[in-house]
Chains A and B, each alone.
Chain A
Amino acid sequence: MSQQETDLEQLNVFDLSGFAKLITLLQEKGYTTVGPTVEEGAIVYDEIDSIEDLPIGLTDEQAGGKYELRKRNDHALFGYVVGPHSWKKFLNPAGLRLWQARRNGRSFEVLEQEAPAPSYAFIGARACELNAIAIQDRVFLKGSFVDSDYAGRRQNIFVVAVNCGQAGGTCFCDSMNAGPKAKSGYDLVLTEIKAQKRNLFVVEAGSEAGANLLHEVPHEPATEKQMARVSEVVSDAVAQMGRQLDTRDLQSLLYRNSGNGRWNEVAERCLACANCTMVCPTCFCSTVEDTTDLTGEHAERWRLWDSCFTQEFSYVHGGSVRSSISARYRQWITHKLASWVDQFGSSGCVGCGRCITWCPVGIDITEEIAALREADSGLSSILRTEEKE
Chain B
Amino acid sequence: MAGKVEKPVPAQTSRRAAKPKLAVWKFASCDGCQLSLLDCEDELLSVAAGVEIANFPEASRAVIKGPYDLSLVEGSITTPHDAERIHQVRRASRFLVTIGACATSGGVQALRNFQDVNEFISIVYASPHHISTLKKSTPIDEHVTVDFELRGCPINKMQLVEVLSAYLNGRKPNIARHSMCIDCKRAGVSCVMVSQGTPCLGPITHSGCGALCPRYNRGCYGCFGPMENPNVPSLCERWAAMGHADVEIYRALSTFNVNAEAFRKESSLYEKAGDSE
Which of chain B's residues have a CB closer than 8 A to the CB of A278? 181-182, 185-186
Report whether A42 and B190 are in contact in the complex, using a CB–CB cutoff of 8 Å. Answer: yes
Interface assignment of A57: CB less than 8 Å from any CB of chain B = no
**Which of B166, B217, B234 is in CB contact (< 8 Å) with A271?**
B234
A275-B203, A305-B186 given; A270·B169 CB < 8 A:
no
Instruction: Tell me the minimal C-beta distance from B148 to chain A in angstroms.
Output: 16
Q: How many A-B residue pairs have CB under 8 A?
A: 145
**Which of A268, A294, A325 is in CB contact (< 8 Å) with B46?**
A294
Report whether B185 and A294 are in contact in the complex, using a CB–CB cutoff of 8 Å. Answer: no
**B interface, how many residues as a size bin?**
35 or more
Which of chain B's residues have a CB closer than 8 A to the CB of A312? 176-178, 228
A294-B46, A312-B176 given; A40·B182 CB < 8 A:
no
Report whether B165 and A293 are in contact in the complex, using a CB–CB cutoff of 8 Å. Answer: yes
Interface assignment of B122: CB less than 8 Å from any CB of chain A = no
**Which of A85, A289, A310, A358 is in CB contact (< 8 Å) with B194?**
A358
CB contacts under 8 Å to A, within B172-204, are 174, 176-179, 181-182, 185-196, 200, 202-204
Report whether A44 and B174 are in contact in the complex, using a CB–CB cutoff of 8 Å. Answer: no
Instruction: Tell me the minimal C-beta distance from A255 to chain B in angstroms.
Output: 26
Interface assignment of A216: CB less than 8 Å from any CB of chain B = no
Interface assignment of B161: CB less than 8 Å from any CB of chain A = yes
Which of chain B's residues have a CB closer than 8 A to the CB of A41? 190, 195-196
Docked Cα-Cα span, A332 to B50, in Å, equals 44
Report whether B234 and A268 are in contact in the complex, using a CB–CB cutoff of 8 Å. Answer: yes
Docked Cα-Cα span, A132 to B14, in Å, equals 51
Docked Cα-Cα span, A296 to B15, in Å, equals 11
Docked Cα-Cα span, A291 to B163, in Å, equals 11
Which of chain A's residues have a CB closer than 8 A to the CB of B12? 296
Report whether A272 and B229 are in contact in the complex, using a CB–CB cutoff of 8 Å. Answer: yes
Instruction: Tell me the minimal C-beta distance from A134 to chain B in angstroms.
Output: 23
Report whether A296 and B168 are in contact in the complex, using a CB–CB cutoff of 8 Å. Answer: yes
A40-B190, A311-B228 given; A296·B195 CB < 8 A:
no
Docked Cα-Cα span, A61 to B177, in Å, equals 33
Docked Cα-Cα span, A67 to B187, in Å, equals 19
Interface assignment of B28: CB less than 8 Å from any CB of chain A = no
Which of chain B's residues have a CB closer than 8 A to the CB of A294? 43, 46-47, 49-50, 161, 164-165, 168
Interface assignment of B171: CB less than 8 Å from any CB of chain A = yes
CB contacts under 8 Å to B, within A278-322, are 278-279, 289-296, 304-307, 309-312
Interface assignment of B265: CB less than 8 Å from any CB of chain A = no
**Which of B169, B191, B203, B234 is in CB contact (< 8 Å) with A292?**
B169
Report whether A269 and B234 are in contact in the complex, using a CB–CB cutoff of 8 Å. Answer: yes
Report whether B235 and A271 are in contact in the complex, using a CB–CB cutoff of 8 Å. Answer: yes
Report whether B234 and A270 are in contact in the complex, using a CB–CB cutoff of 8 Å. Answer: yes
Which of chain B's residues have a CB closer than 8 A to the CB of A304? 186
Interface assignment of A52: CB less than 8 Å from any CB of chain B = no
Binary B-proximity of A25-62 (CB < 8 A = 1, otherwise 0):
00000000000000111101000000000000000000
- Return the chain A residue nearest B217 by Cβ: A40
Interface assignment of A94: CB less than 8 Å from any CB of chain B = yes
Interface assignment of B238: CB less than 8 Å from any CB of chain A = yes
Binary A-proximity of B100-114 (CB < 8 A = 1, otherwise 0):
000000000000000
**Which of A40, A44, A270 is in CB contact (< 8 Å) with B231?**
A270
Binary B-proximity of A343-380 (CB < 8 A = 1, otherwise 0):
00000000000000110111000000000000000000
Docked Cα-Cα span, A362 to B234, in Å, equals 11
Which of chain A's residues have a CB closer than 8 A to the CB of B231? 268-272, 325
Which of chain B's residues have a CB closer than 8 A to the CB of A84? 185, 190-191, 194-195
Docked Cα-Cα span, A295 to B43, in Å, equals 10
Instruction: Tell me the minimal C-beta distance from B157 to chain A in angstroms.
Output: 13
Binary A-proximity of B69-91 (CB < 8 A = 1, otherwise 0):
00000000000000000000000
Which of chain B's residues have a CB closer than 8 A to the CB of A269? 231, 234, 237
Interface assignment of A336: CB less than 8 Å from any CB of chain B = no
Binary A-proximity of B192-231 (CB < 8 A = 1, otherwise 0):
1111100010111000000000000100000000001111
Report whether B194 and A67 are in contact in the complex, using a CB–CB cutoff of 8 Å. Answer: yes
Interface assignment of A274: CB less than 8 Å from any CB of chain B = yes
Docked Cα-Cα span, A268 to B238, in Å, equals 12
Docked Cα-Cα span, A269 to B177, in Å, equals 20
- What are the 4 tightest A-B residue pairs by CB atom distance, in nearest-first order? A278-B185, A273-B203, A42-B190, A94-B186
List, sorted by A's number, 16 A–B pairs whose CB atoms are closer than 8 Å.
Answer: A40-B189, A41-B195, A44-B188, A67-B194, A84-B190, A268-B233, A269-B237, A273-B202, A275-B191, A290-B171, A291-B162, A293-B46, A294-B43, A310-B228, A357-B194, A361-B235
Binding site for A on B (CB under 8 A): 12, 43, 46-47, 49-50, 161-162, 164-166, 168-169, 171, 174, 176-179, 181-182, 185-196, 200, 202-204, 217, 228-231, 233-235, 237-238
19 extra interface residue pairs, beta carbon distance < 8 Å, beyond A44-B188, A94-B185, A291-B165: A40-B192, A40-B196, A65-B193, A65-B238, A89-B188, A95-B186, A270-B234, A273-B204, A274-B178, A275-B181, A290-B171, A293-B46, A294-B164, A304-B186, A310-B176, A310-B182, A360-B191, A360-B200, A360-B235
